């Protein structure tokens, strides 16, 4: 069991008042907070080792390179990739998916090929594929969802065919909190000679992920959703594919030789990483992985599940409140979306903020999903390893207060 009380001492940001109430931070699906040990690792890097990586022979450059590449090795171990050649540092999930749609798409997608997404995708896992489909005259298709908000596997079996070139799918939804059966999908996609791309932004921070066991071709995620800093993320790809793909950006660091008319590329993974990278970000992500490993991803998964088990029936008991997604917290991360009848979610989120409770409201970068759910926007609470049942109680109480306020006009 996670010792949350002790762990929260690492997160001074959580121990503050907001609008004269103690902060309850429930916007972890957007960005998580950074604990002191990770900030300290990054500070030490800037205090002692800061220099450009890969090209310097002096001691600081060597230290910076070693720390940065050690972080890459930590990522490799964390997701169980075969080799560091398969671990590319990017700016985040969005840039990972854009690189992929550009690089893999330009090389392998042809007119009439089908790209299969689902209705629960984040815009980052829709728009790059739309752009690719336009460039190549490929066809976009969407797997539907069951009434409970799970991926409809029967529909997946109908949609994924010999024409399918790519299936790009979230591992976990950033709105419904559901976890998709990636191993099953991979088998289905590979049976039809397609390639599977997984948006792991909402999964890697919350549960153990093993890309080798899942046998996925590509897997993307972001550092800032797993206690790390912003501006750093990962694209995992099987060597077989990465070797055949062209870089998306060109310049320093990614070359082997540059002649006047031609150039050759560096080895994987550096072939894809043009220019000076986010060195402190990479080191911070490595440190975040160390922190998460010490607690264990299994523990984090169970902790979030317990909180969802606790909060879901209490939310559903509030009259006039609609919860989107499964009514039973099976295969669920710590994300939960809801609306209160007659109240715009922005108003609800503002009322919660007045009580110190930070949730998100809006379309959550998933407009096709919200259309599918027949709503313009929702409120969303997302729990993480440092949240408690007290936080869940505060959420429930503040929703009830907001409901009363908008009914009677006073807190």
Report helix angle 345-354 to 389-408, nearest 10. Answer: 110
CB of 355 or CB of 387, closer to ligand PMP: 387
Stretch that binds ligand PMP, among 59-67, 122-130, 240-248, 354-362 (CB under 6 A): 122-130
Stretch that binds ligand PMP, among 38-46, 81-89, 195-203, 396-404 (CB under 6 A): 195-203
Q: Is 177 in the site for ligand PMP (CB under 6 A)?
A: no
Stretch that binds ligand PMP, among 55-63, 143-151, 157-165, 194-202 (CB under 6 A): 194-202
CB of 93 or CB of 355, closer to ligand PMP: 93
Shortest Cβ 125–ligand PMP spacing (Å): 6
Q: Pull the structure tokens for residue 8.
A: 């929260």
Q: Closest Cα partner for 169 from 27, 369, 305?
A: 369
How does DSSP assign 74-102, residue by residue? HHHHHHT-S-GGGEEEESSHHHHHHHHHH
CB of 192 or CB of 363, closer to ligand PMP: 363
CB of 118 or CB of 125, closer to ligand PMP: 125
| Active-site entry in 290, 365, 367, 400 | 365
Q: Is 378 in the site for ligand PMP (CB under 6 A)?
A: no
Give the DSSP letter of residue 252: T
Stretch that binds ligand PMP, among 36-44, 118-126, 182-190, 245-253 (CB under 6 A): 118-126
Provide the CA 214 distance to its chain's centre, in angstroms.
17
Q: How many residues bind ligand PMP (CB under 6 A)?
A: 14
Shortest Cβ 51–ligand PMP spacing (Å): 27
Q: Is 28 in the site for ligand PMP (CB under 6 A)?
A: no
What separation in angstroms does the CA of 384 have from each of 33, 283, 301?
10, 22, 9
Q: Is 56 left (phi over 0), alpha (psi -120 to 50) or beta?
A: beta
Sheet-wide strand order for 218-222: 87-90, 233-237, 218-222, 195-199, 164-170, 114-118, 139-143
CA dist., res. 27 & res. 358, Å (int): 6
Q: Closest Cα partner for 359 from 375, 341, 342, 377?
A: 377
Length of the chain equals: 411
Q: Pull the structure tokens for residue 126.
A: 């829709």
What separation in angstroms does the CA of 117 have from each of 64, 109, 122, 138, 218?
39, 15, 10, 13, 14
Q: Which of 165, 167, 170, 207 binds ligand PMP (CB under 6 A)?
A: 170
CB of 103 or CB of 355, closer to ligand PMP: 103
Q: Which of 14, 64, 87, 92 binds ligand PMP (CB under 6 A)?
A: 92
Shortest Cβ 122–ligand PMP spacing (Å): 3
CA dist., res. 89 & res. 330, Å (int): 33
CA dist., res. 108 & res. 136, Å (int): 10
By rule CB under 6 A, what string of x and - marks binding of each residue 343-372 to ligand PMP?
Answer: ----------------------x-------
Tell me, yes or no, if 365 is annotated catalytic. Answer: yes
Shortest Cβ 308–ligand PMP spacing (Å): 17
Q: Is 174 in the site for ligand PMP (CB under 6 A)?
A: yes
Q: Is 201 in the site for ligand PMP (CB under 6 A)?
A: yes
Q: Closest Cα partner for 36 from 64, 51, 53, 15?
A: 15
Q: Is 176 in the site for ligand PMP (CB under 6 A)?
A: no
Q: Which of 33, 65, 124, 339 binds ligand PMP (CB under 6 A)?
A: 124
Q: Is 186 in the site for ligand PMP (CB under 6 A)?
A: no
Residues contributing to the site for ligand PMP (CB under 6 A): 29, 92-94, 122, 124-125, 170, 174, 199, 201-202, 222, 365
Active site residues: 365
């Amino acid at each position: 069991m996670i010792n949350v009380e002790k762990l929260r001492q690492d997160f001074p940001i959580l121990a503050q008042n907001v609008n004269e109430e103690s902060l309850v931070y429930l916007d972890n699906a957007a960005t998580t907070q950074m604990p002191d040990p990770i900030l300290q690792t990054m500070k030490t890097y800037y205090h002692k080792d800061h220099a450009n990586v890969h090209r310097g022979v002096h001691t600081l450059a060597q230290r910076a390179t070693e720390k940065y590449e050690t972080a890459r090795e930590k990522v490799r171990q964390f997701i169980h990739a075969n080799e560091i050649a398969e671990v590319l540092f990017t700016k985040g999930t969005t840039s990972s998916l854009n690189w992929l749609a550009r690089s893999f798409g330009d090389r392998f997608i042809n007119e009439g090929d089908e790209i299969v997404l689902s209705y629960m995708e984040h815009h980052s896992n829709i728009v790059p594929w739309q752009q690719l489909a336009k460039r190549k005259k490929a066809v976009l298709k969407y797997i539907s969802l069951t009434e409970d908000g799970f991926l409809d596997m029967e529909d997946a079996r109908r949609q994924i065919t010999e024409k399918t070139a790519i299936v790009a799918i979230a591992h976990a939804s950033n709105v419904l909190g559901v976890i998709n059966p990636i191993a099953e999908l991979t088998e289905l996609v590979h049976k039809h000679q397609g390639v599977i791309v997984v948006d792991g932004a909402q999964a890697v921070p919350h549960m153990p992920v093993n890309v080798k066991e899942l046998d996925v071709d590509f897997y993307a995620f972001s550092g800032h959703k797993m206690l790390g800093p912003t501006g750093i993320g990962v694209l995992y790809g099987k060597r077989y594919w990465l070797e055949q793909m062209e870089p998306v950006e060109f310049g320093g660091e990614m070359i082997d030789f540059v002649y006047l008319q031609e150039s050759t590329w560096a080895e994987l993974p550096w072939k894809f990483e043009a220019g000076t990278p986010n060195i402190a970000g990479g080191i911070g992500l490595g440190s975040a992985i160390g922190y998460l490993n010490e607690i264990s991803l299994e523990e984090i998964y169970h902790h979030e599940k317990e909180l969802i088990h606790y909060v879901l029936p209490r939310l559903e008991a509030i009259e006039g409140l609609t919860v989107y997604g499964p009514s039973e917290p099976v295969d669920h991360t710590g994300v939960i979306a809801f609306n209160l009848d007659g109240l715009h979610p922005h108003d609800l989120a503002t009322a919660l903020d007045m009580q110190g409770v930070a949730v998100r409201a809006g379309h959550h970068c998933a407009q096709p999903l919200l259309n599918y759910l027949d709503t313009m926007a929702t409120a969303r609470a997302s729990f993480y390893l440092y949240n408690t049942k007290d936080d869940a109680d505060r959420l429930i109480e503040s929703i009830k207060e907001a409901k009363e306020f908008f009914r009677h006009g006073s807190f």
